[in-house]
Structure 1
Amino acid sequence: MLRVGLTGGIGAGKSTVSKVLDELGAVIIDADQIAREVVAPGTAGLRRLVAAFGSEILLGDGSLNRPALAAKAFKDDESRLKLNSIVHPLVGRRTAELSESAPENAILVHDIPLLIENGIGPTCNLVMVVHAETEQRVQRLTRLRGMPEEDARARIAAQATDEERRLAADIWLDNTRSEQQLAAQVRDAWTSRLVPFEENVRMRRAATAQPELCSPDASWAAVGARLVKRLQFLAGGLAQRVEHIGSTAVPELPARDVIDLQVSVESTVAADEIAPLLEAGGFPRRTDITSDNPRAGSGPEGWEKRLHASADPGQPAHVHVRVTGSLGERYAIVFRDWLRSDAAARAEYAGIKQRAAVSPDYSDAKEQWFDAVYSRMMGN
């Protein structure tokens, strides 16, 4: 199934997005709703909170008095940790139960207000962020929820910044205009990205894309950083290192909009072990490619790899799984760093790419240049 993280600052319009996704057929797992459910009257969660913080946290009808709990639980770090040690495992177990009960072809949306603050984004296939300007959010909170303005601004200030959300967002939903326009954006993302992405993951199929050479894009660095974290989560302890490589990792260099990433592993055995983890996470393997082209002056040894490609139709990506210390692994890193540090080499390669872009095979057209610079670049 496809796992989508949905988040946004308080008052940004996340509930509207969640409602539209629910109408479209997504399975919604609401973190706030679960947090209320696990401490409802009669639950073990509420009994544990009373044991930890006293009966003063209850209302007359036996339900949780949230302001009273907050006054006790957030007075110091020890109390806050005590609260989290009770509630978080209960929320985690309930979330897992709901996830496991969802259909295999589900688009599972985790509605999590503090997804970015708690670093949960890498556990999702995609992160959707709904955005509204601060003053709009203040007006919504005061007018629609009756929240005092001072409290509204304090709540907003305590959450992630807009820049932090942009860096985490695979899909950015603009809610600075009407609710109808926001809903249209959600429906478009559902049709053009979420539905085909889920099908590709289920079928273990890479998204089809033939991107053209384009001008340098400052957003490539942020996309690369997101995918690095996602791959680190998927690979677990099998990955010794995950890096953004290739042309999109070099500022000021024209490139095709394909993010290249390298996962360094201990051995070819580990490369095979990591394959099903990457496939389940949305990066199916390209079994037709098992090695890089050996560079001039070297034999075939050390150029073996496993290639995976993203199933996400909205962002092409290639994942090169190579053994740490192999010629291919070293070459990918040195080539990137050489281009980053040498403006003349960067300009030379940009010219090669421009000429290759009009040839029948973009990659093959660059091979002679790669061979010509290999010894110079590797310091031989």
Structure 2
Amino acid sequence: MLRVGLTGGIGSGKSTVANRLAEHGAVVVDADLVSREVVEPGTEGLSEIVEHFGAEVLDEDGTLNRSALARVVFGDDAARSVLNGIVHPRVAVRTAELIAAAPEDAVVVHDVALLVENGYQADYHLVVVVDAPVEQRVRRLVDRGLSAEDARSRIEAQADERQRRAAADVWLDNGSEQWELRAEVDRLWETRLVPFEANVRDRVPQCPSGPPVLVAPDPEWPEQARRLAARIARATGGGSARIDHVGSTSVPGLASEDVLDLQLTVRTPDEADALAEPLAAAGFPRLPGHDSDEQCTEDPAEQWWKRRHVSADPGRRVELDLRVEGRSNWRLALLFPAWLRAEEQARAEYEELKSRCAELFASDVDSRRYAEAKRAWFEQALPRAERWAARTGWSPYR
């Protein structure tokens, strides 16, 4: 099962996307519909609301008058907290029931208007955000019967574009024709969501083969790494896990393969093995045959032990290495990018080496010889990095 969070500001076209995904076979769980369901006549939710706020929040037919309730809680933080305490737990329980009832091979789309505002991003394998220019959204809302002032007020009350972009694994621009948006959703379904779901279900790491291809540094790499780290932390039991963005994509201005390297710190190898299944379920299955680093073989073998997991997402290559805190390879994975970020000359040397090796092995079917060709430079650079660490007082601990 693949869990997809779908969100977008009011008037963005989120419903159009949800409907198109449903046409493809996605199981859509609409948070707004669920929130209405849990306060329908005869439910405990509605009874509790009436108990706290009075019968004046009901219509004549006994249904909840949402406008009347909004007037009661507007501007009253205590009243709003009581209302949230009644509704939110019931919504969470019902949502979990609907998701659990979906087929094992389902793509479950959770349609949540306030996904970003409520901080739900880490709950999903993927977050899709639908957006459109503000003026276009205002026109759409006016066409639905709202005043322009009311439309702008509602838009301003929600997360802004910057906040939504920080949460988005997929950004869908609905500023043009509807057929263009539907076509983009069709491509997303066929090329990413369907294969991603199969990879998660079958625990298949997405390991594209081919020669190394360097790309220009992407300013979005750090934000992408932060999103993935939050997802991994949630999968491994909480926010206390240490997850670092390492490797070339963690060095601003450095050309790199478009692969995010992350390091998850564990205390023991047994702890790493215990996390294998939670990580796989979250979309990071273990990659067999990559259980130890091979560099610096004069050190004890246990200093280079690791477990490698790889993203199952065909749209974002990620390599996640689990290493034991304090061991040599754990420290080195943190030291090298820190040194490269601080030392321009070292960074330039490494980029020149990467470019030369990528050109040299451009016809290789995999990147093993490319990686091997860089080994000598790393071994010569290690003492320089250590001298920098000693001179600056660098430590792997924040």
Query: Quick check: 1:48 aligned with 2:51?
Result: no
- The answer to whether the Cα contact below 8 Å between 1:284 and 1:311 also exists between their aligned partners in 2 is yes
- The answer to whether the Cα contact below 8 Å between 2:7 and 2:115 also exists between their aligned partners in 1 is yes
1:364 corresponds in structure 2 to 372
1:74 corresponds in structure 2 to 74
Query: Quick check: 1:337 aligned with 2:338?
Result: yes
Alpha-carbon shift at residue 238 of structure 1 (Å): 9.0
Q: What is the letter of the counterpart of residue 151 of structure 1?
A: D
Stretch moving more, 98-107 or 288-297:
288-297
1:232 corresponds in structure 2 to 233
Tell me, in whole angstroms, the C-alpha distance in 2 between the residues paired with 1:362 and 1:198: 31
RMSD: 1.3
Q: Tell me, what secondary structure is at the counterpart of 1:372?
A: helix
Q: What is the letter of the counterpart of residue 90 of structure 1?
A: R
TM-score by length of 2: 0.93
1:186 corresponds in structure 2 to 185
1:247 corresponds in structure 2 to 248
Q: What is the letter of the counterpart of residue 250 of structure 1?
A: V
Name the CA shift for 1:48/1:152 in 2 (closer, same or farther; >3 Å): same
Tell me, in whole angstroms, the C-alpha distance in 1 between the residues paired with 2:8 and 2:356: 43
- The answer to whether the Cα contact below 8 Å between 1:285 and 1:308 also exists between their aligned partners in 2 is yes
Cα displacement string for residues 114-156 of structure 1 (whole angstroms, at most 9, x for unaligned residues)? 111111111100011111000000000011x201111110110
Gaps of 5+ in 2: 391-398
Tell me, in whole angstroms, the C-alpha distance in 1 between the residues paired with 2:54 and 2:76: 16
Query: Quick check: 1:137 aligned with 2:137?
Result: yes
1:3 corresponds in structure 2 to 3
1:172 corresponds in structure 2 to 171
Cα displacement string for residues 267-308 of structure 1 (whole angstroms, at most 9, x for unaligned residues)? 111111111110011101012111112326533231111100
Alpha-carbon shift at residue 312 of structure 1 (Å): 0.3
Q: Give matches, 1:237-276, under 5 Å.
A: 237=238, 240-276=241-277
Tell me, in whole angstroms, the C-alpha distance in 1 between the residues paired with 2:329 and 2:276: 18
Tell me, in whole angstroms, the C-alpha distance in 2 between the residues paired with 1:111 and 1:232: 23
Q: Give matches, 1:202-221, under 5 Å.
A: 202-210=201-209, 212-221=213-222
2:384 corresponds in structure 1 to 376
- The answer to whether the Cα contact below 8 Å between 1:238 and 1:265 also exists between their aligned partners in 2 is no
Q: Tell me, what secondary structure is at the counterpart of 2:176?
A: coil
Tell me, in whole angstroms, the C-alpha distance in 2 between the residues paired with 1:238 and 1:71: 37
- The answer to whether the Cα contact below 8 Å between 1:279 and 1:285 also exists between their aligned partners in 2 is yes
Tell me, in whole angstroms, the C-alpha distance in 1 between the residues paired with 2:57 and 2:254: 59
Gaps of 5+ in 1: none
- The answer to whether the Cα contact below 8 Å between 2:266 and 2:325 also exists between their aligned partners in 1 is yes
Q: Tell me, what secondary structure is at the counterpart of 2:129?
A: strand
Query: Quick check: 1:283 aligned with 2:284?
Result: yes
Alpha-carbon shift at residue 375 of structure 1 (Å): 2.2
Q: Runs of 4 or more off by more than 6 Å in structure 1? A: none
Tell me, in whole angstroms, the C-alpha distance in 1 between the residues paired with 2:244 and 2:372: 24
Alpha-carbon shift at residue 41 of structure 1 (Å): 1.1
1:27 corresponds in structure 2 to 27
Tell me, in whole angstroms, the C-alpha distance in 1 between the residues paired with 2:272 and 2:386: 25
Name the CA shift for 1:299/1:371 in 2 (closer, same or farther; >3 Å): farther
Q: What is the letter of the counterpart of residue 244 of structure 2?
A: E
2:327 corresponds in structure 1 to 326
Q: Tell me, what secondary structure is at the counterpart of 2:127?
A: strand
Name the CA shift for 1:276/1:327 in 2 (closer, same or farther; >3 Å): same
2:14 corresponds in structure 1 to 14
Tell me, in whole angstroms, the C-alpha distance in 2 between the residues paired with 1:297 and 1:376: 19
Cα displacement string for residues 22-57 of structure 1 (whole angstroms, at most 9, x for unaligned residues)? 000000000000000100111111001001111111
Query: Quick check: 1:146 aligned with 2:145?
Result: yes
Tell me, in whole angstroms, the C-alpha distance in 2 between the residues paired with 1:74 and 1:101: 36
Tell me, in whole angstroms, the C-alpha distance in 2 between the residues paired with 1:202 and 1:315: 17
Tell me, in whole angstroms, the C-alpha distance in 2 between the residues paired with 1:36 and 1:59: 14
Name the CA shift for 1:203/1:239 in 2 (closer, same or farther; >3 Å): farther
Q: Tell me, what secondary structure is at the counterpart of 2:243?
A: strand
Q: What is the letter of the counterpart of residue 15 of structure 1?
A: S
Q: Tell me, what secondary structure is at the counterpart of 1:294?
A: coil
Q: What is the letter of the counterpart of residue 103 of structure 2?
A: P
Tell me, in whole angstroms, the C-alpha distance in 2 between the residues paired with 1:92 and 1:237: 19
Stretch moving more, 361-370 or 186-195:
361-370
Tell me, in whole angstroms, the C-alpha distance in 1 between the residues paired with 2:131 and 2:238: 35
TM-score by length of 1: 0.97
Tell me, in whole angstroms, the C-alpha distance in 2 between the residues paired with 1:344 and 1:76: 58
Alpha-carbon shift at residue 239 of structure 1 (Å): 5.9
2:125 corresponds in structure 1 to 125
- The answer to whether the Cα contact below 8 Å between 2:31 and 2:110 also exists between their aligned partners in 1 is yes
- The answer to whether the Cα contact below 8 Å between 2:207 and 2:310 also exists between their aligned partners in 1 is no
Alpha-carbon shift at residue 9 of structure 1 (Å): 0.4
Name the CA shift for 1:240/1:18 in 2 (closer, same or farther; >3 Å): closer
Q: What is the letter of the counterpart of residue 133 of structure 2?
A: E
Tell me, in whole angstroms, the C-alpha distance in 2 between the residues paired with 1:309 and 1:238: 21
